[in-house]
Amino acid sequence: MLIHGLWMTPLSWHDWVSYLEDRGYRVIAPTWPRMDRPIEELRAHPSLVGGLGVTEVTDHHAELISRLDTPPIVMGHSVGGLVTQLLLDRGLGAAGVAIHPGQTKGVFGLPPAQLRAALPAVGNPFNLNRGVPLTPAQFHWGFANALSEEDAREAWSNHHVPAPARPLFQAALANFTPRAATRVDYRKADRAPLLFVAGDADRTVPASVVKENHRRYKSGVTHYMEFPGRSHFTVGEKGWEEVVGRSLEWAVAHSAGARSGS
């Protein structure tokens, strides 16, 4: 199962789906709730995703997993990586790969670059229940900074949609919220193996934040993997094959019951 993040749709997984299917895997890349619409409609009506939060997205994917015959390997990008952690915390999945993930409660690092990248959404408190788009310039700076301006513009044109701002507010305020939607049990003994993937050029979720998120886990099988020169758009930029290949290799080697074709 592949879980997309903010400002994206399942289209962002196109190359990964082909890669995995070519190797015999059944791949599910669902859309988030309320986002099962043409990309043009989502762009024209940002209010469609307004107010969508972390718990609603997690519940949606948990329901999909409950219908499967065998526990899947769950790979999530950005807020999808946060959702991956929450799903494993619920006892779901055979293994998880959190790719440049939004952080869980208890992670305190907030580099200036991450704050700047989030400002289009969280800079205005009235955005809490709104869908917020990125301009091409904002997308290039915070999301696809490893790409040229031309390639970033093309990625924005092909993939970008307005994102609900609520998950960013939930992550930003989690450490001040007793029952935060982003909390996990870092000492959970029976959690499925979990891989953290970071890129040292990411500004939206800097590698230092992913590294701290990984360090918070005190039990179970976890691992941290960092790729040089990769921005937040790692799933779509040049060299994505190495990221999916190494992530898959780790997940298959560490998962219980996950197999090709399941």
pLDDT tens for each residue of 42-58: 999 999 999 999 999 99
Residues 6 or more apart whose CB falls under 8 angstroms from that of 154 comprise none
CB 104 within 8 A of CB 125: no
Residue 163 amino acid letter: A
- Is residue 260 pLDDT above 90, yes or no? no
Angle of helix 54-66 relative to helix 166-173, nearest 10 degrees, comes to 100
CB 250 within 8 A of CB 14: no
Q: How far apart are CA 205 and CA 238, in angstroms?
A: 19
More confident residue, 183 or 262: 183
Q: How far apart are CA 204 and CA 144, in angstroms?
A: 9
- Is residue 79 pLDDT above 50, yes or no? yes
Q: Burial, 125: exposed, middle or buried (Cβ in 10 Å; 0-12, 13-18, 19+)?
A: exposed
pLDDT at residue 128, as a whole number: 97
pLDDT at residue 259, as a whole number: 39
Q: What is the mean pLDDT of the chain?
A: 96
pLDDT tens for each residue of 220-249: 999 999 999 999 999 999 999 999 999 999
pLDDT category of residue 257 using cuts at 50, 70 and 90: low
pLDDT tens for each residue of 82-92: 999 999 999 99
Mean local confidence (pLDDT), 85-104 = 98
pLDDT category of residue 190 using cuts at 50, 70 and 90: very high
pLDDT tens for each residue of 119-160: 999 999 999 999 999 999 999 999 999 999 999 999 999 999
